[in-house]
Chains A and B, each alone.
Chain A
Amino acid sequence: MRIVLDPDRCQGHGRCYALAPALFGCDDEGYAVLLVEGDLDPAAEGDAQLAVDSCPEYAIALEP
């Protein structure tokens, strides 16, 4: 699984980087930045899913 972040949908709510700080960071304006690339460590999938399900703008997805 890998994380896909859509910067056009992200409005900087900051739920992802609060809930999964190992996977998401933020830029100087508070918009989300993906910290990991490629295949996700299976141990991180729970946090990634929580970020996906918490984003008010549906800006994050998990893809096989």
Chain B
Amino acid sequence: MADRAVTDWRTDFDHTDEGWVADPYPIWEELREECPIAHSDRYGGVWLPTRHEDVSAIANDTEHFTSRSIIVTNHRPPMELAPQGVAPPISSDPPYHAEARRMLLPAFSPQNVAKLEPSTRAYCAELLDAVQGRDVVDAAADYAQHIPVRVIADMLGLPQADGDVFRGFVHDVIEGVARPLEERAEGFLALFGYLQGHIAEHREQPRDDLISFLLDAEIDGERLDDFQVARTVALLLIAGIDTTWSAIGASLWHLARTPADRERLVSEPALMPTAVEELLRAYAPVTMARLVKEDVDYRGCPMKAEEWVLLSFPSANRDPRFFDRADDVILDRQPNRHAAFGLGVHRCAGSHLARMEIKVALEEWLRVFPTFSLADPDAVRWSAGQVRGPRLLPLRVDA
């Protein structure tokens, strides 16, 4: 959480402020209309474009904005990390980025993701079996959070039982952004220690999983060393867990408080793929960051080198200049040119996997619990930082 309350969103915003965490939409709306590129001195300087046009322009401008770090903290990672960055390829810049990304994409292609659907569905059913008979189920803590952890653990070849370990790491990285560097460094060291052990085991005994694939992969004709593999695995854990968990949870939160949409999805299951896109648009969980490479003037904003830019894809998705009835959830909205998975060369590499997980998670939930509502709206808790989703979501599921 922010160390002091925000008094003016235009000049002093903080994306970890309690007000923002509780409900950022009115804040973004005010900024889009009155101060479309806000600035805050916090975190050593942060810019916040909120209109689709500006978010898109900066996401596509890899000449002036680097991905060397994509999570806003008080610390900038060393320049020497470029062009790979902390966790390639999300933290990499062109041209290295393209090679590192190309290596990963086949694992997350639609064809490969389709193979994971049956096991994902079986796991969702298993989670729902375990909560049968209860009046109230926490859709975030008892359901959504477990799904992406299991899927990515299976893909990587890490023990399913370590779910709590991964979630702890991810929480430290994404939500612990205001903590001192030394504390954050401890978290990273623990994560890399954990991963090094598993990477060593995979080197000894290769298997049919993503860690073994990475150990065998080449970038520009060279094998990756253990540290490069560990950083890429860390990225897949961090990028794959909180994000998808958030999207599943936010979708169930919407359906819990919008009976007409819930009933429509139950009676028109074929609408699900279109509905998933609309829920992704309306409740896009992910905001990414860039660092300004060198002093640059962007539309009259004097952006200084090493200042952050928060790319609010969630706000871009609510921009009425770009979408009709931008604040309304319209389950059969088409076309829907949303930016929930980012724009430009850093389009989420796991987007096809995320879509499959969200679709299957919602289908299975609705199959078991066609009728549900918020058990206690005041008990819902949202995550703080650049990934937004419910972390506590008690739903009354008795018909």
Hey, what's the 0/1 contact readout for A22-64 against B, CB within 8 Å counting as 1?
0000101110000000000000000000100111110000000
CB distance from B303 to the nearest CB of A (A): 24
The number of inter-chain residue pairs (CB within 8 angstroms) is 52
Place the interface of chain B in its size category.
20 to 34
Residues 350 to 376 of chain B near chain A (Cβ within 8 Å): 351-352
Are B335 and A53 within 8 A (Cβ)?
yes
Report the bound CA distance from A34 to B108 in whole Å: 20
Binds A, one of B188-196, B290-298, B339-347, B377-385: B339-347
| Chain A residues within 8 Å of chain B by Cβ, number | 18
- The binding surface of chain A is classed by DSSP as loop
B7 part of interface (Cβ distance < 8 Å): no
- With A26-B110, A50-B334 in contact, do A56 and B102 touch (Cβ < 8 Å)? no
Nearest residue, chain B, Cβ from A29: B105
Distance A23 CA – B341 CA, assembled complex (angstroms): 23
Residue B338 at the chain A interface, CB threshold 8 Å:
yes
**Choice from B109, B347, B351 contacting A26 with Cβ under 8 Å:** B109
* Contact call B110/A30, Cβ cutoff below 8 A: yes
Whether B110 and A14, one on each chain, are in contact in the complex, defined by CB atoms closer than 8 angstroms, is: yes
Report the bound CA distance from A11 to B347 in whole Å: 6
A3 to B: closest C-beta gap in Å: 15
Chain A residues with Cβ under 8 A from B352's Cβ? 14, 30
Alpha-carbon distance between A57 and B60 when the two chains are bound, in angstroms: 10
Quote the shortest CB–CB distance from A63 to chain B (angstroms): 19
What's the nearest-Cβ distance from chain B to residue A60, in Å?
11
A56 to B341 CA separation, bound complex (whole angstroms): 10
Please state if A12 and B105 are interface contacts (CB–CB under 8 Å).
yes
Cα separation A30 to B351 with both chains bound (whole Å): 10
By a CB distance below 8 angstroms, the chain A residues around B111 are 26, 28
Q: Note all chain A residues with C-beta closer than 8 A to B110.
A: 14, 17, 26, 30
A18 interface residue per 8 A CB criterion = yes
Check B337 for interface membership: any CB of A closer than 8 A. Answer: yes
CB of B334 within 8 A of CB of A56, answer no
Q: Enumerate B103-131 residues with CB–CB distance to A below 8 Å.
A: 105-106, 108-111
**Contact status A30-B334, CB under 8 Å:** no
Instruction: Please pick, from A13, A30, A53, the residue contacting B108 in the complex, using a CB distance under 8 A.
Output: A30
Please name 23 pairs of A and B residues whose Cβ atoms are closer than 8 Å in the assembled complex, sorted by A.
A11-B344, A12-B347, A13-B341, A13-B347, A15-B277, A15-B337, A17-B110, A18-B273, A26-B109, A26-B110, A26-B111, A28-B105, A28-B106, A28-B109, A29-B102, A30-B105, A50-B334, A50-B335, A54-B335, A54-B337, A56-B339, A56-B341, A56-B343
